[in-house]
Structure 1
Amino acid sequence: MNVSVQWEGVYPALLTPFTANDELDLPLFETNLHAQLDAGVHGFIIGGSLGEASTLLNEEKIALLQSALGVAQGRVPVLVNIAEQGTKQAIARAREAEANGADGLMLLPPMRYPADARETVTFFKSVAEETTLPIMIYNNPYDYKIMTTVAMFAELSALPNIQAVKESTRDLTNVTRMRNAFGDRFKLMGGVDTLALEALLLGCDGWVGGLVDAFPQETMAIYDLVKAGQLAEALAIYRWFMPLLELDIHPKLVQYIKLAATATGIGSEYVRAPRLPLVGTEREQVLHVIKTAMANRPVLTTAQ
């Protein structure tokens, strides 16, 4: 029985923990999931950019899905990210996720090939038509070089299971463009940590987070305070959080955020090649950011 996806609240883009032998560390994965649930997150996303999707085997993605479903126990939806080079492969992964109990999908445009607007829309439609699962389109032209425009979403709006957008264009005016064009037809989820509070204030329904993997309580506090209209309290936490949130917009975001999750006791530094763990000055610089923040963690205000 699938859990209904509301496309609201905080959805961690989960890290994929590995052992020293480069195998999935499912016990540590579940430790992180429990920390997220204890903080009150609203859903899980498996195998995104932070989850090192491009290095995961299909059977590993299914193992992560089954582990997350076991922890969630129907309390929050579990989404699987689909990031494939070919339409046929993307359809196969979507069907596989649905068959194994996923509650929804996050869907990226074609990988590696810079598809034009017609090709991108056709790709999204082709996947959506082959699954009954609700879908969030990941709109991130900064990293993936394909912009899903308002005109393209107008075509996609004909498919009822394309329901949400991870808004990672880094152009905050796009939130207003989408609202002006579609009202509430698409749920909008802010997808850039360093713009998260602003995206929520502009009307995003939720936040797909990265540093939530290491700091779930602080992430949830910001979201809850914004939704309660306690903006001064939210801003105080956000300003404290910003040096950490900036770790999310670097090519080594996986290593940086894994180091943060290690520091807070809910992750490890192991990454999968070609990524390598941080060393030397770079590691010390990132650790300094993390340790400074942890030494000054704010007393969290409860939303009223």
Structure 2
Amino acid sequence: MMDATAFHGIHGIVYALFDAGEKLDRVAMRRQVECCLASGVHGMAALGLATEVSKLTFDERVAVMEWTAEDVAGRVPLGFTIFGGSVAEQIAQVRAAEQNRADWVILQPPMVGSFGAGEYISFFGRIAEATRLPVGIQNAPAYMGRGLTADEIAELVTRYPNIRLLKGEGPATDIRGVIERTQGRVPVFNGRGGLELIDNLRAGCAGLILAPDVIDHAVRAYDAFRAGDEAEAERIYQTILPAIVFVMQSVESLICYGKRLFAARAGLTVHDRGPALRPTAFGLELVERFARELGPLGR
């Protein structure tokens, strides 16, 4: 079991890539992991919002775990987001993650009902107590409609020591508040497609978990920042910011256009699993332009 404090950097989280029949495409999924690893990512993850986890059956989620673990082959830390509406459902997926060599798991709040903070804290805690893996919590109220405050997160990690990481989805100012309230006891990762990438690092984030559309540039920006060259880190970030803003208008936009931007850079074709946001002709023009400006990925 890895020490959670060793987790850092840019972690790639995979898109769900489908074939023309709307089935998961094994070859394309392998290509995606290879592109991320070739970009120098510091970790890999799967089954988050970018992976359209709510559209996948339980067996498909397990298949994504198996494929990602096979393709990563222990070269970088591997995390799986755990989705489900009950403690039992999430624990079953944690067991699958354990069997597929996960280094950590990230628990999503149940997407059913609406409860107080105490209920969510108890929900997360019961699952965390069922595994020896380091556990992270995905706190994304803007995208998921539910979440915890900085004070509630501080209570959560105090009550359940096995909760050793946090996956936030919010402004750098909010993330800084969480880091301060938890007194730096747990590594905090942000996402949001890389928005405020450098300011997140200044706020104290251990890193970011990003879909792979601009992953290679994000890795270079992170590495420059960690080497003390903030000017270079900012320069790289400024080159990718227009593309990030384009794809991060919503989760649906990320899945529609972010996936297509990645595919255009990686030489893949996108097939949607409906229901899905469909691209407009102008949106595809923007994808083509950003792909050309950012250059090929993994080639």
TM-score (norm 2): 0.90
Summarize the alignment of residues 1-150 of structure 1 with structure 2, pairs less than 5 Å apart.
Answer: 5=4, 6-150=6-150
| Structure 2 counterpart of 1:189 | 189
Distance 2:115 2:227 in 1: 41
Deviation track 1:95-124 (CA, whole Å, cap 9, x = no partner) reads: 222233322111111213222101110111
Deviation track 1:63-88 (CA, whole Å, cap 9, x = no partner) reads: 21111111212111221111212222
Q: Is the contact between residue 166 and residue 187 of structure 2 (CA under 8 Å) also seen in structure 1?
A: yes
Percent identity among equivalent residues?
27
| Structure 1 counterpart of 2:256 | 255
State the superposition RMSD in angstroms. 1.9
Distance 1:100 1:295 in 2: 36
For structure 1, the 5+ residue unaligned runs are 299-304
Deviation at 1:55, TM superposition (A): 0.8
Q: Is the contact between residue 84 and residue 110 of structure 1 (CA under 8 Å) also seen in structure 2?
A: yes
Please state whether the residue corresponding to 2:137 is helix, strand or coil.
strand
Deviation track 1:211-265 (CA, whole Å, cap 9, x = no partner) reads: xx12332111111112122122222221221121120232321011111022112
| Structure 1 counterpart of 2:179 | 179
| Structure 2 counterpart of 1:287 | 284
Total equivalences in the alignment: 290
Q: Is the contact between residue 270 and residue 277 of structure 1 (CA under 8 Å) also seen in structure 2?
A: no
- Match for 2:200: what amino acid? A
Distance 1:265 1:191 in 2: 21
| Structure 2 counterpart of 1:236 | 235
Distance 1:237 1:176 in 2: 23
Distance 1:21 1:55 in 2: 15
Distance 1:107 1:201 in 2: 26
Q: Is the contact between residue 69 and residue 100 of structure 2 (CA under 8 Å) also seen in structure 1?
A: no
Summarize the alignment of residues 272-283 of structure 1 with structure 2, pairs less than 5 Å apart.
Answer: 272-275=273-276, 277-278=278-279, 282=280
TM-score (norm 1): 0.89
Evaluate the alpha carbon distance shift between residue 194 and residue 236 of structure 1 in structure 2; reply closer, same or farther with a 3 A threshold: same
Distance 1:267 1:204 in 2: 32
Distance 2:66 2:228 in 1: 37
Deviation at 1:276, TM superposition (A): 5.2
Please state whether the residue corresponding to 1:50 is helix, strand or coil.
helix
For structure 2, the 5+ residue unaligned runs are none
